[in-house]
Amino acid sequence: MNKEPVLLKRIGKMRDPASVEEYTGLGGFAALRKAVQMDKEDILKEIDTANLRGRGGAAYPAGRKWRQLYGIEGTPKYIVCNADEGEPGTFKDKVLLEKDPLSVIEGMLVAACVFDSPEGFIYIRGEYHTVRQAFQKAVDSAAAAGFLGKDILGVKGFDFTITIVSGAGAYVCGENSALLNSIEGKTGRPRVKPPHLAEVGLNQKPTLVNNVETFACIPVILNIGGKAFLEMGAEDGGGTKLVSISGHLKNRGVFEVPLGTPFEDVLYAEEYGGGPFEGKPIKFLHLGGQSGPLAFPEQIGGAYSYKGLEDKKLAIGSGAIVAMDESVSVVEYSKKVMEFFVYESCGKCTPCRIGTTRILELLEDFVSGAAEKGDIEKLDAMLTQVMALSACGLGQTAGVAVRSALTHRRAEFEARISG
């Protein structure tokens, strides 16, 4: 398997990550030059062949999303980059935004070219103040070099600008419809869907929303070809994935892992996680952010790929891998996860607002030893309800981690029941 990085290859090699000259010297903007010469249908075909799955968490095929928007009438079409990066344990978009921002800009430019879009937005979480400054510098230098603005690459009518929008601390704004509301200066709560954002998006216009890493993959696909991209990864999802490792593994940080790499290598190989920190065995992992499932040792094996994980009822999600050693209680961990959802629920719908609070109260009982016989069943039923009745992805996934804990470590919950 080829382990040469494609997303992180320029990182650390540029003195000034905002420099168009350095970026171009390391292969930058070659894909955009290709794109303006290519038939749009052929660009879409390459992305289809690459089987690029969205890197923001939902893993929706980018090719399919682009095709849907391509088929929609209506102008203008907007290009939006989701850089809200709010999933706890996820810090990989930050690396691209700060250390190779022009690759994200190039990905957005290819989209602009495909959709004849005049305007793009990137929504960067409020906490990333210095990241926003770094990205602004790259936008400015791209504009100065003629890569943003009018008649880009000398192509008459290829006009595109990118505006940076700041978040202000709301996890739910990472949900794409809430994100668009937030850009429009509204309170960042999710919209009722349908209508689909491809049709009725930003300012009611057709809109593409993709994650930072998804956009950064686009130039790679055009440079090496969709087929090579697919072959770099796994059949059910091509390319490499940026993985954010935190918690009780020796090497914490962002790593570029070819999809299909043995899962155990991601955790234990020196070049990735490096094995447990302080030598205590890993008790469980939390994958893909707080909205993802916990993974227990008996589920860890096979390939780190979309299907490899799905087969074990796990998910890659944002690529977060939080490792917890034996010192951590699954029950207490579950409680902390629910605290997060209670705090971040936007309050728009009752099942999520009230339901997550009730679940947290029950989990607090388990932690304190006040839980009674029948509470496990009660907990289980509440998880089902909240996830089934919530209006957006936040509530719909709020119980995933706790549910996986209950499924695989029911005994730990039982041991906390008094009487």
Partner 1 sequence: MNKENLLDTLLARQNASKEGYLDREAIAAVAEEFAMPETRVFEIASYYAMLEIEPQAKYVLEICNSTPCYFSKSNEVAAWVEGELDVKPGDVTGDGLFSWHYTPCVGACDIGPVIKVRDTVYGDLTKETVHALIQDLRNAKNGKKFR
Task: Give the SS3 label for residue 340.
Answer: helix
Tell the smallest beta-carbon distance from residue 184 to partner 1 (Å): 6
Binder of ligand FMN out of 51, 182, 207, 210 (CB under 6 A)? 210
Beta strand 294-295 pairing with 253-258 = unpaired
Using CB under 8 A as the binding rule, whether residue 290 contacts partner 1 is answered as: yes
Q: What is the SS3 assignment for 12-65?
A: CCCCCCCCHHHHHHCCCCHHHHHHHHCCHHHHHHHHHHHCCECCCCCCCEHHHH
89 lies in the site for partner 1, by CB under 8 A: yes
Residues 290-329 as x/- pattern, contact with ligand SF4 by CB under 6 A: ----------------------------------------
Using CB under 6 A as the binding rule, whether residue 345 contacts ligand SF4 is answered as yes
DSSP 278: G
Least distance in Å: CB of 352 to ligand SF4? Answer: 3
Tell me how far, at minimum, the Cβ of 110 lies from ligand FMN, in Å.
14
- The whole-angstrom separation of Cα 290 and Cα 84 is 15
DSSP codes joined into one string, 221-272: HHHH-HHHHHHHSBTTB-SEEEEEEEESBSS-EEEEEETTEEHHHHHHSTTT
Answer yes or no whether residue 87 interacts with partner 1 by CB under 8 A: yes
Please enumerate in sequence order all residues whose Cβ is within 8 A of that of 407, keeping only pairs 6 or more positions apart, or say none: none
In this structure, what token pair is assigned to residue 337?
Answer: 């996860």
Residue 55 binds which of partner 1, ligand SF4, ligand FMN, none (CB < 5-8 A, kind-dependent): ligand FMN
Does 239 participate in binding ligand FMN (rule CB under 6 A)?
no
Q: Does residue number 348 form part of the binding site for ligand SF4 (CB under 6 A)?
A: yes
SS (H, E, C) 381-399: HHHHHHHHHCCCHHHHHCC
Query: Does residue 190 belong to the site contacting ligand SF4 (CB under 6 A)?
Result: yes
Identify residue 359 by its one-letter amino acid code. I
Distance CA 308, CA 288 (A): 14
88 binds partner 1 (CB under 8 A): yes
The torsion angles phi and psi of 168, rounded to 5 degrees, stand at -145, 35
Residues numbered 173-232 forming contacts with partner 1, rule: CB under 8 A: 182-188
Considering only 35, 172, 173, 387, the residue that binds ligand SF4 (CB under 6 A) is 172
* Residue selected from 2, 75, 130, 384 as contacting partner 1 according to rule CB under 8 A: 130
Q: Is 24 in the site for partner 1 (CB under 8 A)?
A: no
What is the Cα–Cα distance from 14 to 131, expressed in whole angstroms? 16
Please list the residues that pair with 79 across neighbouring strands.
120, 208
- Nearer to partner 1 by Cβ, of 206 and 308: the residue is 206
**Residues binding partner 1 (CB under 8 A):** 85-91, 94, 121, 125-130, 163, 165-171, 182-188, 244-248, 252-254, 286, 290, 322, 324, 327-328, 333, 336-337, 339-340, 343-344
**Residues binding ligand FMN (CB under 6 A):** 54-58, 60, 82, 84-87, 171-172, 174-176, 209-211, 214, 392-394
